[in-house]
Amino acid sequence: MNRAPVMQDVARLAGVSHQTVSRVINGASSIRPETRERVLQAIDRLGYQPNRAARALVSGRSGTIGIIATASTLFGPTSIHRTVNTAARRAGYFASSVSLAEMTREGFEAAVDHLDRLAVEGIVVIAGHDEALEVARSRSGRTPFVIVEGDLSRGRRTVGVDNVAGARMVTRHLLDLGHVEIAHVTGPLDWAESRARAEGWRAEMLAIGLRPMEPLVGDWSAASGYEAGLVLAAESDVTAVFAANDQMAIGILRALHESGRAVPEDVSVVGFDDVPEAGYLIPPLTTVRQDFSAIGRSAIAMLTAAISGDADHVPSLIDPELIVRASTSSPGRTRSGRP
């Protein structure tokens, strides 16, 4: 196609009328789900961009939401970004994203100003570390915000996974297997998720009267997990390690292997996130699965409620799921499974 696609092109590809395409774009509730999906797929395939300014003049609504995120290759933030975008489309909104190299006050204000010029109806902020969250919360204005971070104690419009519950679930699993010396490798401590996962591990240990050892601090990377794993490999009393994300767990697996410590026979290893590769490692990794699709849906549901003026939308954290694989077992077991 040698020109920009128009609404008629979308209608032709989707096999519907241009009026149906218009109703999908404007979020009409009378469209059948399968028809809406077909139109959205045609829009994606063609790269069609509706005239937001014209729509806003006619309807008083742009049908667009903004997403502000820090530029990141980490599995969690990138997964959330994708699912928020998908959920927005399902709700009849287009999403305009701004990725910031770092979340400074000036950069955040510039991003909001840019999105305001696009007449967005609301903004989702995907930010994990404290500076980014503080900047996001300090912004005042008429545009509704939802922050994806998973800490309901610090903001009314907040969504995310219950990281404390996920960490307690992991620790309880290891305790039930008979481990008592359970090490923890945290993420950066200026991230809310990192502190919440450390809090859950510590609380579960203390709940049965065990004194948790001092955690090691990583930076979410496999390299930092590898460095922590070399330290832990020399600790003969440690029989289990809980890493705050799967990337660090992968580094720990390699360090233990190079140090002659078998997993799970000598040391059990658990991660957090359930990255797509987790089930294909040697051994397959026990981890905590986050429902990123549910996070995206919850963020958009909260934002659309705020856009419509619904003050009664009560936020709640999303329950994680423990995925048990072969990287955990009772301490002191041989490869044959016998003590």
Place of tokens 């009664």: 312
For position 37, what pLDDT does the model report?
Answer: 87
* Diameter of the chain measured on Cα atoms: 74
Euclidean distance between CA atoms 93 and 304, whole angstroms:
10
Q: Report the length, in residues, of the chain.
A: 339
Place of tokens 């998720």: 193
pLDDT in tens, 209-233: 999 999 999 999 999 999 999 999 9
Euclidean distance between CA atoms 63 and 96, whole angstroms:
11
The DSSP string of 290-333 is --HHHHHHHHHHHHHHHHTT-TT----PBP-EEE--TT---TT-
Average pLDDT over residues 2-13: 84
Euclidean distance between CA atoms 272 and 216, whole angstroms:
16
CB atoms within 10 A of CB 46: 17
Euclidean distance between CA atoms 196 and 164, whole angstroms:
5
Mean pLDDT score across all residues of the chain: 86
The two structure tokens encoding residue 170: 């992991």
Average pLDDT over residues 43-60: 65
CB 124 within 8 A of CB 65: yes
- Residue 113: pLDDT band by 50, 70, 90 thresholds? confident
Euclidean distance between CA atoms 115 and 65, whole angstroms:
8
CB 333 within 8 A of CB 264: yes
| pTM given for the model | 0.77
- Residue 51: pLDDT band by 50, 70, 90 thresholds? low
Q: Which residue has the higher pLDDT, 150 or 45?
A: 45
The DSSP string of 34-78 is HHHHHHHHHHHHHT----HHHHHHHHS---EEEEEEE----HHHH
The DSSP string of 254-299 is HHHHHTT--TTTT-EEE-SB--TTGGGSSSPPBEEE--HHHHHHHH
Average pLDDT over residues 74-78: 85
CB 127 within 8 A of CB 147: yes
Pairing mode of beta strands 145-148, 158-159: parallel
Euclidean distance between CA atoms 201 and 198, whole angstroms:
5
Average pLDDT over residues 55-60: 52
Domains of the chain in start order, with CATH, are 1-50 (1.10.260.40), 52-160+292-318 (3.40.50.2300), 163-290 (3.40.50.2300)
pLDDT in tens, 183-208: 999 999 988 889 999 999 999 999 99
Residue 125 β-bridge partners:
68, 147
For position 47, what pLDDT does the model report?
Answer: 79
The residue type of 121 is: E
pLDDT at 336 over 60: no
pLDDT at 36 over 90: no
The residue type of 158 is: T
Residue 68 β-bridge partners:
98, 125
pLDDT at 331 over 90: yes
Phi, psi dihedrals of residue 225, rounded to the nearest 5°: -65, -40
